Structure 1
């Protein structure tokens, strides 16, 4: 799971990068090759597209499209057959300066099989098929029930989504006696019955489409009193949804906070679900921190050192972590500088570094790479697990804001 989590994280970063580029004309090429598709047929199509592109009227657009197609065909020559899961290629001129050509290529072997066959030349890269892979599909239905209030939600991945907040017209209990009391109680029972039916209808609208797509893994129902048991036993819920009930939990609250409490109280039921596993993981990190066990470390430099020593058992990286590693080198005198910074800082650094600070030469090369991807590769090479921590939970937010979004559990203490 951790390997898949790291793959999805890297894919998400690449998709975000690709979505940030925009061509000056329809000159960015997106190519999707499904798993098992004949790569020779793709080469033939690209040769045909190359011939067609020679008729493009704009000289600069023609040059960039032809350049992109050449890069794509050159890259495809590296493959005897389509990789397992297929291949997505993106290539084109991504230079921000008019009249300057910077044709780059991205080749992505996705973590799940590609089903779509697509060629598109547009102003933007087509990333929707990859974004669909990133969409969390497995979901758990959440229902909190009281006689005068109900909440319907969804636990998808690590995010709790509020779908419906319902209130009823059920009157409160009365102390009046005699026939009026019995009549009042009948009205109250009827109003409660209608409210339960309304909850069930809203739940059906929310959950049945997910069930049909195979995405609904279970339903958890909670509430402060016996109303939740009545809701289940009197079979208000759609018969197909009743089969998906995996737990009934006592909770104190309703509304959005009630949904959070429901997920927390159902932690045993959802022990394999991502949100619960993430919460337990971060809580474990905090416990080690408070007890000062020496079996955790955090911060880029400390984690990098631990990885180099092979001391990391589990690497934790927040999905919000966005640092890049930058290396500048003077090709004249050999001066070098290695720094970690975010993207805005990099652009400032790149503009300011016009000369070598040691010899004054303008022959300075600058390269950058993603810190998270580098550390993930180091972890995998050393046999450490990798866990990507979301920003969808309170614990995930705290981990990112208070600890910079990077930490590790250690195999042994580092002196």
Structure 2
């Protein structure tokens, strides 16, 4: 999870847990090319109708939510640069509102609906991993290389294979044909491996690699290709994908979301384990005072922050570490040892580049 978006994630998590027994939760998303007047129109219409109906026809919680959205829109003369999102509802007797007007991504589509849950779809791209993943689909008749990042899936290259189909002939000619076919397949696999190394290690480094194709082809590629050991270490998972095309790359990215989330958690767990193993040595610092001192010396290599901390604290310390070339990782309290890290070390720890006096 991106540190800069942590406070946003925290607010979205709270909204995602809200539900109601009736369609009384309002979600409003306004793109930047729409006017405040256009956004207000359906709200005003529904509010005027609801205010005149009885409780059975239009429940009071819905009227209160509509009024809250009207009031929030009145604070704006124009839609902010990246759009505006407003949520309002009375799920359990208390009015709940949330407004997002400084978004890291631009709102593309208008949304206005009443539901039993809030519609958080405008934030889908924000809640995805901020890491960059290489996408590699390998098939007998070709291969496709792509990249998955905050902007989505990008096709980088498509390689065609000259490996022929299996021969139906018999005898020695068939055996010779099959030997030539296997040689061509190995050569193609090596070509794909070389191209992948250049694309994902030299041109623009990646944080992980998703590998796709039919099960048999992927297995043989892993066994026979001279794949760079660095790429081997970056493989987050293998997935069944049908086509070595842009469609196949998109299919691979979709199937790999769970593996990406798990890899992100593994990276945090490894850093937390390393920190805990070094507690008591001069390789780490913990607690706000000692970590502040380490930041003053620019000695922080990896900063660990508990998600139990306030968003402003996370933002301030994280940005200081990253501005010094350090890495910042967020430790969820539901991690193994996550509660221990939060309680025993005040949720603040650092793995150091060098000891400090």
- Name the TM-score class by shorter chain: 0.5 to 0.7
Select which of 162, 171, 184 maps to 2:175: 184
Q: SS at 1:116's partner residue?
A: coil
TM-superposed CA distance for 1:8, in Å, is 3.2
Structure 1 residues 37-88: Cα deviation after superposition (integer angstroms, max 9, x where no partner): 3224333442222102224443595311121122222223333332231121
Superposition pairs of residues 189-338 of structure 1, within 5 angstroms: 189-190=180-181, 196=185, 228-229=189-190, 246=199, 255=219, 265-266=230-231, 286=274, 290=278, 294=282, 296-298=284-286, 302=287, 304-306=288-290, 311=295, 315-317=303-305, 323=308
Asked if 1:24 corresponds to 2:21, the answer is yes
Using the alignment, how far apart are the partners of 2:221 and 2:127 within structure 1? 27
Cα distance change of structure 1 residues 82 and 410 upon mapping to structure 2, 3 Å threshold: farther
Asked if 1:408 corresponds to 2:350, the answer is yes
Cα distance change of structure 1 residues 245 and 19 upon mapping to structure 2, 3 Å threshold: same
Structure 1 residues 114-145: Cα deviation after superposition (integer angstroms, max 9, x where no partner): 11112111111111121244235964223579
Q: Which residue of structure 2 aligns with residue 376 of structure 1?
A: 314
Select which of 122, 140, 153 maps to 2:134: 140
Using the alignment, how far apart are the partners of 2:112 and 2:56 within structure 1? 22
* 8 Å contact from structure 2 (residues 25, 90) kept in 1: yes
User: How many correspondences in the alignment?
Assistant: 281
Unaligned regions of 5+ residues in structure 2, if any?
Answer: 151-164, 203-217, 236-259
* 8 Å contact from structure 1 (residues 136, 156) kept in 2: no
Cα distance change of structure 1 residues 191 and 308 upon mapping to structure 2, 3 Å threshold: closer
Q: SS at 1:11's partner residue?
A: helix
Using the alignment, how far apart are the partners of 1:181 and 1:400 within structure 2? 65
Q: Which residue of structure 1 aligns with residue 81 of structure 2?
A: 84
Q: SS at 1:52's partner residue?
A: helix
* 8 Å contact from structure 2 (residues 291, 349) kept in 1: no
TM-score (ref. length: structure 2): 0.57
* 8 Å contact from structure 2 (residues 51, 63) kept in 1: yes
Cα distance change of structure 1 residues 93 and 387 upon mapping to structure 2, 3 Å threshold: same
Q: Which residue of structure 2 aligns with residue 102 of structure 1?
A: 94
Using the alignment, how far apart are the partners of 2:180 and 2:220 within structure 1? 27
Cα distance change of structure 1 residues 290 and 30 upon mapping to structure 2, 3 Å threshold: same
Q: Bigger radius of gyration, 1 or 2?
A: 1
Select which of 56, 69, 73 maps to 1:72: 69
